[in-house]
Amino acid sequence: MAVIALNVLAQVARYKVDMLMPYILAIASILLANLFVAFFHKKKDYFAFGISGVALLGSISVFLLPQIGQFYLENIIEGLYFGMFLMAIVPVIIKIKPFTFFISAKDYPQVIVNSNNFLKLNNLMSVIWAFLFALGIIFTAIPYANDEALQTIIATLVPIAFLIMVGIPLNKYLPGYLMQNAAGERIVFSSLAEAGEAMPYGLSKELSKGLDTVVQFEMTGEEAGITHLNIKDQKCEYKQEAHPNPDTVIKADSGIWLDVMNNKLSGDKAFLNKMFEVEGDATILLIFHDLFTPKNLQDIARYEPRKMAYDYKSFRPGQVKNIVVFDGGPRSKKFSKTTFMADNFVAGAKSAGATVDYIKLSDHKIRHCSGCYTCWTKTPGECIYNDDMTELRKKYRQADLVIFASPLYVFSVTGILKDFMDRLLPVMKPYILLDEKGHTKHPDRFPEKGEQGFVVFSAAGFPEVEHNFDGLQGMFRLWDSHSEHMHLMGEFFMTAAEIAVQPVYANRLKLIAEACFNGGKDVVEKGVIDKKDMQAVSFPGVTRTRFQQEADNFWETLDGKAGYLKEVPTLNT
């Protein structure tokens, strides 16, 4: 009010300062009184301090330093913005809470207001406001028109319009943006209630995209009670009551859960050690930690999707009618992820009308190849050993589509599958074919089938395809390029397979089952497998550091126990 009065006086008297003296003195006294009152009541009204301070100094200088006083009176509006500029910048410089702190504190729970992060973000906001007020000074000082009255009107309106148009949206959206993106640190909660209240403000917009889920917490112990978080439309709501239809229910002792929330106890470890229980969709646990972690602390070491550059063979729709699977893994259906994939592929192929012969090679008697070449010399096409391979070779020759399934063992296939493949030598002749691409091949001894296709399935412990699968993949691709009639139609490589049986990966296993099923159906119906399905299987759905933690925890829980085949959850196929 005082500044407006000063401004009006200056305008009315056309800057004839002498006439104004008594009024200015009165206004200066009011400003001084205002400052005293604010100071003694310890009011954190920086607005009043900044504006009144500048106005007071300006009015006093009218008496003591007339030249500066004259200058001030001629530029009262600039002085107003200068006051606001000081109000925004001075607290940041002298390291006290900035003006935005007190405004925004009303919208946040105490635990957030007390955090260092909150102070940092408000400092940043205040610096931005200081910049806007500095622009206010410039916009007021710019000459817009020759006419004095018009100039006064424009010079008054432009900065106000600017501050409204830029400042208001900035005030609305910037805090949220900064909360998400500016450097942050973890808040340590002293209770679960405190954590619950803070969580809606810490939800990562990016990671919660598309998420629509209700997580219920059923706590026992010190903070016993039921609460839930409803995460939807990139927003999160915390309620201290039960939800009628939660997607996930976490049952824990409140002290343990508080430790998990504060990152004092690894959630994975606590889960594997059965320190809390999860009912319903446990997938949320995979991202729960990152979902409420400041962006700079989130685990960003994510895996890239597998590159799918290979030129796989396509057949005519309906060309694949009979399929034989050679499963070279030593584990049973209950535990083998390789078998899990091949089984789902077979189900898809059968649904499209194919007949399938599933052969578990470990159930058969297959000797090692002796390297005698008798099958190429004395008895062409016949091996010196008359074991199960005699029958299996026939099945290999007669199938439209051969499936090679093997877990990844030492970056390659298992010994079981390798023995089987070595013993396929009799189906080739020793002579040499040179194809147009420069590949050297042996001709097929029994070309009665014409073109045949093959598909590879392999599950591995490590989470990456590149490097890890290079050996196995390379061998099968050479089988493709160096065979006369056997063509590679697809490769399904499941990464991070060992930890995938945990309930948190239920969705991943479902996706893998669907992708393999689609592959089997498509290869029969369309004669081609969609690369997206092969790619989906390989995506580990976990970051590098999380993989490390989870794998270590997984094996640690088994350390010294009865054994894998007793302790690890089985696959439900």
409 binds ligand FMN (CB under 6 A): yes
459 binds ligand FMN (CB under 6 A): yes
Residue 324 pairs in a beta bridge with: 357, 402
CA dihedral over 471, 475, 480, 486, signed as positive or negative: negative
CB of 366 to ligand FMN, least distance (A): 18
Q: Which residue is nearest to ligand FMN (CB)?
A: 407
Tokens of 74: 């001629």
User: What is d(CA 538, CA 491) in angstroms, rounded to the nearest whole number?
Assistant: 10
Closest to ligand FMN by CB, 104 vs 468, is 468
Residue 225 pairs in a beta bridge with: 219
DSSP letter for each residue of 364-422: S--PPP----GGGTTSTT--S--STHHHHHHHHHH-SEEEEE---BTTB--HHHHHHHH
Considering only CA atoms, which of 241, 73, 100 is closest in space to residue 175? 100
28 binds ligand FMN (CB under 6 A): no
User: What is d(CA 166, CA 156) in angstroms, rounded to the nearest whole number?
Assistant: 16
φ/ψ (deg, to 5) at 342:
-60, -40
Tokens of 255: 């002290």
CB of 464 to ligand FMN, least distance (A): 8
CB of 418 to ligand FMN, least distance (A): 13
Binding mask 69-108 for ligand FMN (x = CB under 6 A): ----------------------------------------
505 binds ligand FMN (CB under 6 A): no
Among positions 194, 223, 491, 498, the unique one binding ligand FMN when judged by CB under 6 A: 498
Closest to ligand FMN by CB, 230 vs 338, is 338
572 exposed, middle or buried (CB, 10 Å; 0-12, 13-18, 19+)? exposed
Among positions 200, 225, 317, 461, the unique one binding ligand FMN when judged by CB under 6 A: 461
408 binds ligand FMN (CB under 6 A): yes
Residues in 529-548 that interact with ligand FMN by CB under 6 A: none
53 binds ligand FMN (CB under 6 A): no
Q: Which residue has the tokens 């126990």?
A: 561
467 binds ligand FMN (CB under 6 A): no
Closest to ligand FMN by CB, 457 vs 517, is 457
Considering only CA atoms, which of 507, 367, 372 is closest in space to residue 430? 372
User: What is d(CA 346, CA 356) in angstroms, rounded to the nearest whole number?
Assistant: 7
Closest to ligand FMN by CB, 144 vs 462, is 462
Which span sits near ligand FMN by CB under 6 A: 18-26, 264-272, 331-339, 369-377? 331-339
DSSP letter for each residue of 87-144: HHHHHHHTTS--HHHHHHGGGS-HHHHTSHHHHHHHHHHHHHHHHHHHHHHHHHHS--
Which span sits near ligand FMN by CB under 6 A: 81-89, 131-139, 334-342, 438-446? 334-342
407 binds ligand FMN (CB under 6 A): yes
**Buried-exposed string 303-320: b where 16+ CB fall within 10 A, e elsewhere:** beebeeeeebbebeeebb
336 binds ligand FMN (CB under 6 A): yes
Residues constituting the chain: 573
Q: Answer for the pair 97, 124: CB distance below 8 angstroms, yes or no.
A: no
User: What is d(CA 270, CA 276) in angstroms, rounded to the nearest whole number?
Assistant: 7
CB of 405 to ligand FMN, least distance (A): 8
Closest to ligand FMN by CB, 23 vs 411, is 411
CB of 410 to ligand FMN, least distance (A): 5
Note the maximum CA span of the chain: 128
φ/ψ (deg, to 5) at 384:
-70, -25
493 binds ligand FMN (CB under 6 A): no
Which span sits near ligand FMN by CB under 6 A: 361-369, 408-416, 428-436, 521-529? 408-416
Which span sits near ligand FMN by CB under 6 A: 31-39, 147-155, 296-304, 327-335? 327-335
218 binds ligand FMN (CB under 6 A): no
554 binds ligand FMN (CB under 6 A): no
Distance of CA 190 to the CA centre of its chain: 28
Closest to ligand FMN by CB, 258 vs 459, is 459
563 binds ligand FMN (CB under 6 A): no
CB of 561 to ligand FMN, least distance (A): 17
Closest to ligand FMN by CB, 173 vs 564, is 564
Closest to ligand FMN by CB, 39 vs 564, is 564
Closest to ligand FMN by CB, 411 vs 479, is 411
Q: Answer for the pair 24, 57: CB distance below 8 angstroms, yes or no.
A: no
1 binds ligand FMN (CB under 6 A): no
Residue 386 pairs in a beta bridge with: none
Among positions 410, 432, 434, 562, the unique one binding ligand FMN when judged by CB under 6 A: 410
The site for ligand FMN, by CB under 6 A, has a size of 18
Residues in 175-204 that interact with ligand FMN by CB under 6 A: none
Cα-based distances in Å from 313 to 1, 28, 164, 480: 82, 89, 63, 10
434 binds ligand FMN (CB under 6 A): no
φ/ψ (deg, to 5) at 470:
-55, -45
Closest to ligand FMN by CB, 337 vs 397, is 337
Among positions 7, 283, 338, 518, the unique one binding ligand FMN when judged by CB under 6 A: 338
Which span sits near ligand FMN by CB under 6 A: 10-18, 145-153, 299-307, 455-463? 455-463
Q: Which residues bind ligand FMN (CB under 6 A)?
A: 329, 331, 335-338, 407-411, 459-462, 468, 497-498
